[in-house]
Amino acid sequence: MKVRILFALAALSAAVAPSQLLAAPRGLYLGADLSYVNEMEDCGAVYRLKGKPIDPFVLLKKEGGNLVRVRIWVDPTWTKYSNYADVLKTIRRAHAAGLQALLDFHYSDDWADGGKQLTPVAWAKLSTDGQVKALHDYTLDTLRKLDADKAMPEMVQVGNETNPELLGGKVPGPPINWERNARLLNAGIEAVQEAGRASSIAPRIMLHIAQPEYLLPWFDAATRAGVKSERMTNVSSTTPTTIARANSRNTRTGTSASRPKLAASVRPALRMAREALGAATASASSSGRTEASCQTRPVRNTL
């Protein structure tokens, strides 16, 4: 099985100094999304290196990785994975292997991505004010529980492939309501900051955009709307068709001269991330299919 390395440092704000970075090859966070590993092992998968069984977390560390991403869904009643208990297990495995953890909040009961940002059922009938509070409180509660369980992640991703509007439904849809979107994003950011102030670990905060070409237009709009700056950015590369529809409807590209400071500050690191593409890979093999689930629904290994 090929495991794509997550170049989880796609861009940095100007406020983050190089000396603050985790010691890593070329100053990058190198890692993989291992959210699926617990399920695959429950299905009987065995990860091997040169024919010998190996813990995939240990393998990632052995191959130079330093970060594990793990997704969490709000109330995934259709699966026993990617809930709190599964996430706790994954973070503990990452830490035991000497890896840092990046917790990826999908803010959905199922996949949230560039084609859809489906509101959790429990939040669906709430007003915008209610959803802002629910997102904040859920984020804060989750992190407090992890901290109490001695599994605080070193990094937190506020939303997954947030090219469309958070809790905004399917794409294509109406243009992003950036006043609402900024409130939701800031609610998540503020919750991470609040949890970090009471913990020995103050997680770094990451925002996640799919496809590098949409990074600057998205940050232009986010900056104008008042999304808190000084965040790291994770850019994943996926099938662009749906993402393109989301961005063509939901963002407007400004001129280079008019782009705000936050958008301009990510450009050098974006170039660095592009250079790292293709170089950051690792491989493992299993005794069976790793893209299939022993449940009724397929499991996707995506960034």
Q: Domain holding 205: CATH number?
A: 3.20.20.80
DSSP 8-class letter at 79: -
Rg, Å, the chain Cα set = 18
Would 298 be classed as within a structural domain?
Answer: no
Under 8 Å between Cβ of 33 and 231: no
Least confident of 75-84, 251-260, 273-282: 251-260
Q: Which of 209, 201, 215, 202 has its CA nearest to residue 166? A: 209
Question: For residue 302, is it within any domain?
Answer: no
Question: To the nearest whole number, what is the mean pLDDT of the chain?
Answer: 78
**Count of the separate structural domains present in the chain:** 1
Task: Provide the pLDDT confidence category of residue 21 given band limits of 50, 70 and 90.
Answer: very low
> How do residues 71-123 score in pLDDT, each as one tens digit?
999 999 999 999 999 999 999 999 999 999 999 999 999 999 999 999 999 99
Distance CA 119, CA 113 (A): 12
pLDDT value of residue 228: 86
For a pLDDT cut of 70, what percent of the chain falls above it? 66
Which pLDDT score, from 0 to 100, does residue 152 have? 98
What pLDDT is recorded for position 287?
35
CA distance 159 to 167: 10
The answer to whether residue 59 scores a pLDDT higher than 60 is: yes
Q: Is the pLDDT of residue 161 over 60?
A: yes
> Could you tell me if residue 294 is inside a domain?
no
Instruction: Answer yes or no: is 300 within a domain.
Output: no
Query: Does residue 190 sit within a domain?
Result: yes
Average pLDDT over residues 229-258: 45
Asked whether the predicted pLDDT for residue 7 surpasses 80, the reply is no
- Are 22 and 30 in contact, with CB atoms under 8 Å apart? no
In the prediction, which pLDDT does 83 show? 98
- Counting DSSP H helices and E strands in the chain, the numbers are 9, 13
Alpha carbon distance 54, 155 (integer Å): 26
Indicate the pLDDT class of residue 28, thresholds 50, 70 and 90: confident
Answer whether residue 185 is part of any domain.
yes
What is residue 84's three-state secondary structure? helix
299 in any annotated domain: no
The vertex-193 CA angle with 118 and 167, nearest 5°, equals: 10
CA 179 to chain centroid, in Å, comes to: 22
Which residue range(s) make up the domain with 220?
2-286
Give the pLDDT mean for 205-234. Answer: 86
Q: In this structure, is residue 296 part of a structural domain?
A: no
Q: Which residue has the tokens 């950011």?
A: 189
- pLDDT higher for 302 or 34? 34
Q: What percent of the chain has pLDDT over 90?
A: 62
DSSP letter (8 states) at residue 11: B
Q: Which amino acid is at 75?
A: D
Secondary structure (3-state) at 170: strand
pLDDT value for 52: 96
- Is residue 285 over pLDDT 50? no
